Amino acid sequence: MLKIYNTLAREKQTFTPIVAGKVSMYVCGMTVYDYCHLGHARVMVVFDMVSRWLRASGYNVTYVRNVTDIDDKIIKRANENNETIAQLTQRFIDAMDEDSAKLGVLRPDLEPKATEFVDGMLSMIAALIDKGFAYPAANGDVFYSVSSFQGYGKLSGKSLEDLRAGERVEVDSFKKDPMDFVLWKAAKPGEPSWESPWGKGRPGWHIECSAMSSHHLGQHFDIHGGGQDLQFPHHENEIAQSEAAHSHDGKPCQMVNYWMHNGFVRVDDEKMSKSLGNFFTIRTVLEQYDAEVIRFFILRAHYRSPLNYSDQHLNDAKLALTRLYTALRGVDVSDDAIDWQHPYAARFKLAMDDDFNTPEAMAVLFDLANEVNKTKSTEAAGLLKGLASVLGLLSRKSDEFLQAKTNANGAANDGAAELDVDAMIVKRLEAKQAKNFAEADRIRKELAEAGIILEDTPQGTTWRSA
């Protein structure tokens, strides 16, 4: 039985879908005003892994990941660039799609944009006002009254008193309570706006996800995911809005059964963030590392654990992935179907059913690789490819990865591109046959200096990037 760590319950719980055989999952996506960084990559890869495992487990999954395409940062960046908001957001949506595709991330079933669901947001805000959970302010904003919702703080585990004491909240004289948050922002000169019963304006960030998730998945759905940084206030506010807006006879309607949050990406033990200036965009890292190496690096850590970024960790990931591809080299794999009764597959499933424990699942892959190395078993090789594919790994032919144009330090391996490696291997073989071992060693050394490692096997000499 699949168990998921539920942030709301603070424990692992057996997963029971609302509708047998079906899973509804919503994940908070990107705010598209810049290129995605490795923190975004982790969210994309982690929940791609989750949806893949749910489908491999036989569930019919509806996976929704939204796009925030209206926001203070978006407006500011568009003005700075002297371009329209639509131009800016579409450019970075396209870049996000390019980056995620390279990382092997399958497209979610639905990718709603916030600007397409303003009517739904207006309806939800009106319901919150009617039910006494929100109020229009004199300045044209509409605020959610946190004190009106008894369950506020249940996701973060803090009482309102604790939150008021510990959180730095922008002082706003139009709020009844410093913790109240905005649902509708009154229009400012030069900003995009929509008509509403409270005057022209635009939605607040939190209401966007409540409206989009309920539109596509209903008032009550199975899984809501996102980065750990969204647990408070974003997800806390989503719960307050959604459960209050959909309440019946004063009783809140449960929004989500299982809340999932992936851990931070850290650099030198600090959270990767733009404010600290220590973030790395996906495309910058892709200039040095194969995309599958980045995916492997993300998945070799448990999704709830911190992920420490460094060149050394990525180099280690490349070497580990190289071991898996090397095991498959020269082994004919005609069938990668998974027999879940096989001991290795059963171990893999046990790991993944334990809150998506990818480090343990990968340990199974390496055990299988060891068996393939020893036996050259096509059955074991097929199972290795099949299980890895569940994680979105080992989808290429071995030589395509092993001879990729990057070396062990992540730098572009220009030497491999400039040399005719196969021709040099033939020349080395001819030198060895002529007992000219000095020439054979010279060729090996020249290739090594160009980032090419030769491997002599009973079947002949192969090569890979260092």
Helix crossing, 118-130 with 205-217: angle to 10°? Answer: 100
Q: Alpha-carbon distance 14 to 203, whole Å? A: 36
What pLDDT does 167 receive? 58
Same-domain pairing of 7 and 131: yes
Same-domain pairing of 244 and 347: no
Asked if the model's pLDDT at residue 169 lies above 60, the reply is no
Same-domain pairing of 359 and 247: no
Same-domain pairing of 258 and 291: no
Least confident segment among 116-120, 335-339, 404-408, 442-446: 404-408
In a domain, 407, yes or no: no
Same-domain pairing of 245 and 302: no
Q: What CA–CA distances, in Å, run from 286 to 207, 248, 283, 294? A: 34, 50, 5, 8
What pLDDT does 408 receive? 41
**Residue 129 burial (CB count, 10 A):** 20
Do 191 and 97 contact (CB within 8 A), yes or no? Answer: no
Asked if the model's pLDDT at residue 417 lies above 90, the reply is no
Give 188's contacts (C-beta < 8 A, 6+ positions apart). Answer: none
Average pLDDT over residues 388-408: 84
Q: Alpha-carbon distance 244 to 369, whole Å? A: 52
Same-domain pairing of 216 and 308: no
Number of domains the chain is built from: 3
Helix crossing, 118-130 with 236-245: angle to 10°? Answer: 70
What pLDDT does 409 receive? 44
**Boundaries of domain holding 455:** 414-465
Same-domain pairing of 379 and 420: no
Same-domain pairing of 125 and 242: yes
Same-domain pairing of 282 and 193: no
When the pLDDT of each residue in the chain is averaged and rounded to a whole number, the result is 91
Same-domain pairing of 256 and 279: no
Q: Is the pTM of this model over 0.85?
A: yes
Asked if the model's pLDDT at residue 129 lies above 60, the reply is yes
Q: What percent of the chain has a predicted confidence (pLDDT) above 90?
A: 75
274 among annotated binding-site residues? yes
Same-domain pairing of 305 and 454: no
Q: Which residue has the higher pLDDT, 164 or 321?
A: 321
Same-domain pairing of 230 and 367: no
234 among annotated binding-site residues? yes
246 among annotated binding-site residues? no
For 256, half-sphere exposure in the C-beta direction (CA atoms, 13 angstrom radius) is 27
Under DSSP, the state recorded for 148 is G
236 among annotated binding-site residues? no
238 among annotated binding-site residues? yes
Confidence bin at 89 (pLDDT 50/70/90): very high
Q: What percent of the chain has a predicted confidence (pLDDT) above 70?
A: 94
Average pLDDT over residues 79-107: 97
Asked if the model's pLDDT at residue 237 lies above 60, the reply is yes
- Note the pLDDT tens digit of each residue in 353-384: 999 999 999 999 999 999 999 999 999 999 99
In a domain, 130, yes or no: yes
